[in-house]
Each structure stands twice: as C-alpha cells, then as structure tokens.
Amino acid sequence: MALDDDWFTEICAESGSAFSLRVKEKLHQEQTRFQRIEIYETERFGTLMVIDGFIMLSDYDNFFYHEMMSHPVLFTHPDPQQVVIIGGGDCGTLREVLKHPEVKRVVQVEIDERVTRLSEQYFPELCEANDDPRAELLFSDGIRWVREADPASVDIIIVDSTDPLGPAEGLFTAAFYRDCFRVLGADGLIVHQSESPLIHQQLIRDMRCAMERAGFPQQLTINFPQPVYPSGWWSATLAGKRGKPTRLRKRACQNKTFPTRYYNYAIHLAAMAIPEFWREGTTESAVVNPVTL
C-alpha cells in the first residue's frame, strides 16, 4: 500500500503496525498467473521487490535472510550433498547454498518463473550462481514435486516461501511436512521460514506441531534480524529425522571457505538461544548446546 508517490508502506494488520520506505520510482509492475509483483527503487534500501503488497526483499538487508536460511542448516547436516529449495525464486538462498563445496546438487522449485526472471534483471547479484552446473531451476509446484520425489533422495529441504497465503499456504501443513520426511535421508533436515517470533508466535507453534505430527521428533527455531519484515525480527524453524537439529560441524563452520556478511559460528550459537517469553508453558532450556561434529 502506498501512502503517496514518495513512500511504499506495508501494513501489518495483526500487529497494528506499518513499515515504510521512501521510494524514488516504481521500476516495474505486473500481474502473473499467481501474484502481483512490483519493483521499486528506494532512497536508502536500494531495489525493493514486493509481492501482493508484501515486501519480499531489498538490496540493503536481504543478506540476513538468505544467509540464515542456508548456512545454519548446511553446517548442521553431517554431509550435505543433495539440497532442494522450495520457493526461493529470487535465488539469493540458492547462491548461499552453492558456496558450500560439499554440495553436489541443488534443485530449486519455484512456482512463478517471473520472480526469477525479474530477479535476474533487478537483483543480478543474487543470481550469480544460477549458471552453476550443480544448480537446477524448475518452475513448478513445490508441493507436488516433493510428493512425487523418490524416498530418501535428499539431504536438506529449504522452504524459502512467502507468507502462508495463496500459493504458499499448502507449505505450512502436516501433509507437506510428511512428504518432506519421506523424501529426506536418514540424517535429513528441513528448514522453513517461520515469520516474526514476536508477532507470529501462534504460527510458529502450529508449524512445530505440524512437523511433529509429520514424524520429525523435535524442532529448533532460530531467530535473526530482518529490518524490512514486520517487527524487524524474523525466524526459521528446523527439524531433523534424528532428533533436535543441534549437531554442528564446528570446525567447518569456524573455518568456512567463503565470505558472509552476517553469519558466522558465534551468530549460529546466538541464533539458537531461546528468549524467555518463548519458554512460557514449556520445558525448553534458554540455552541450546550444540553437539559438535
């Protein structure tokens, strides 16, 4: 929602709040088969992508999200070779995953090809790895892809989805997580973006319950800053087939061979700490001690 020609504003009705960015101009707008995509040039946050009125990413701060959706789960898995990204059409998460030399293949399943094509045009730095021979870009329904995939054929599933509305709504269900459980190998892990830990606490509880019903015995919700999203604070929820996903390849993480702007070993540990208000009515410890590999 734009208040006037100089500002783009996203209203978060459930929290009674709004976030605004001063814009220089609207660069693009189109209605695809699935959603309305808008691209703006902002005054301080660079290029901005908006889908159905909700901010998806900006040049200025997308690195928080893309790094935290990829590196924690990849350093948690003992040997991540086969990775699937559901959604992620801007390709920022794909770029981060492919920084890991042990990864042999990444399949990205994005329902709306226009998200990727517009990202290639307006966010080319996020698409630098699109031509990597290990990457396969599919423009299809991620729910169906997982349902039809071979059992135990994937090490990690990253669900880089929009909010649980429209095409993404089915990604937040026990039925989807059950299919993911079947597709993952014995050490398999899933990570799913899980909205604001301040505003969307019920959604996070519902996601974790759905993962448990699907067969994942324990879950871990990590948190990190994300200035352009409601509350400026975001989360991702991990689940593993072998229990709580707290195993960490400490040495590999501490000596990572690629640059990051936010993620490092200390950030990984800090992101697993549980705020006191999350613990109300639970037996979870505030400090999650990783098992190092």
Enzyme catalytic residues: 160
Which long-range CB contacts under 8 A does 240-243 form with residues at least 24 apart?
240/76, 240/187, 240/188, 240/189, 240/190, 240/216, 241/181, 241/184, 241/185, 241/186, 241/187, 241/188, 241/189, 241/215, 241/216, 241/217, 242/186, 242/187, 243/217, 243/218
Judged by phi (left if over 0) then psi (alpha if -120 to 50, else beta), residue 128 lies in alpha
Pull the structure tokens for residue 220: 């871990």
Amino acid at 234: W
How far apart are alpha carbons 189 and 127 in whole angstroms? 25
Q: Report DSSP letters for 44-112, one per residue.
A: SS-EEEEETTEEEEETTTHHHHHHHHHHHHHHHSSS--EEEEEE-TT-HHHHHHTT-TT--EEEEE-S-
Number of H helices, E strands in the chain: 8, 14
Please compute Rg for the chain using Cα positions. 18
Who contacts 195 (Cβ-Cβ below 8 Å, separation ≥6)? Answer: 163, 203, 204, 234, 235
In three-state secondary structure terms, 271 is helix
